[in-house]
Amino acid sequence: MRIVADSSCDLYTIDHEDFKTVPLTIYTDERSFVDDESLNVTEMLDYLAAYKGRSYTSCPPIDLYKQAFEGAKEIFVFTITSALSGSYNSALSAAEMYKEEHEDVKISVIDTLSTGAEEILAINKMTELMREGLSFEKIDEIIRDHIRRSRLFFSFFSLHNLAQNGRVNKVAAGALNVLNISVTGTATSEGKIAVTGKARGEKRSLAVLLEDMKKAGYSGGKAIITHTENPSAAKDLKDLVSSQYPNADIRIFPTRGLCSYYMERKGIVISCEID
């Protein structure tokens, strides 16, 4: 089995597994940044911080997905939420075309209705199921149910790029002009971004994330934290969750290009399994 994901997954490799990622691209009117292994995220963020024009993103083309399928017989594809990107539709089209050319191939394209940390949770679950030797169909059933039972929460200190691309309300983005104010929010069941509150200071914003997790039903299951150039806050959040759930399996990952673009510097996301 092969796992394919677009670059919003914030992973490059998975130990001992057949894994490929397909890059999204970040554009300005002057430059483009392909979200692959060669992208220098810090350099991209520095450039965007100084750039005064428009910027936007583009989903992977169909041909890149088809290339990622080559040589595999059973393929699971994970994409960023279809509510915010065309990546899912591109992957679906690629899968349909590829199966017409390779009748013995099985491909499941999964709209994660999320991004980043929640994709990592799903992909990690996928690797566990693969190692159990379950059938393609059984894995597909379990992983889709798993996605329905996970949640994502975030704390961002800027919504500029999200607002510029129509992902959040510009009024909500404007609220962050006040020094050291972050917005907290979640990914909805429809795969959209919902801003749920504001917090003054990083310490308070992390506490709000844990409060929101508990309200959603978190009781110590697996969790993934992703951050955009903010490893200290990621560790603080891990320690905060672990202080109340000592046995929780919590892992930290830096963001790749696409999530770094939308989360912006200091952004923190946590995704968790809900009982």
Q: pLDDT digit string (tens) for 245-267?
A: 999 999 999 999 999 999 999 99
Do both 144 and 156 map to the same domain? no
**Measured CA distances, 121 to 118, 146, 273 (Å):** 5, 9, 8
Do both 154 and 129 map to the same domain? no
Do both 196 and 219 map to the same domain? yes
pLDDT recorded at residue 16: 77
Full domain range(s) for residue 255: 150-273
Would you say residue 207 has pLDDT above 90? Answer: yes
Average pLDDT of the chain to the nearest whole number:
94
- Residue-wise pLDDT for 52-110, tens only, equals 899 999 999 999 999 999 999 999 999 999 999 999 999 999 999 999 999 999 999 99
Do both 156 and 109 map to the same domain? no
Side-chain-side CA neighbours of residue 222 (13 Å):
16
Would you say residue 177 has pLDDT above 60? Answer: no
User: For the chain, what is the domain count?
Assistant: 2
Would you say residue 169 has pLDDT above 70? Answer: no
The amino acid occupying position 252 is I
Do both 260 and 134 map to the same domain? no
Query: Region 218-238: what's the mean pLDDT?
Result: 97
For 15-84, the DSSP string reads TTS-EEEE--EEEESS-EEE-STT--HHHHHHHHHH--S-EEEEPPPHHHHHHHHTT-SEEEEEES-TTT
The CA distance from 166 to 168, in Å, is 6
- Residue-wise pLDDT for 18-53, tens only, equals 999 999 999 999 999 999 999 999 999 999 999 989
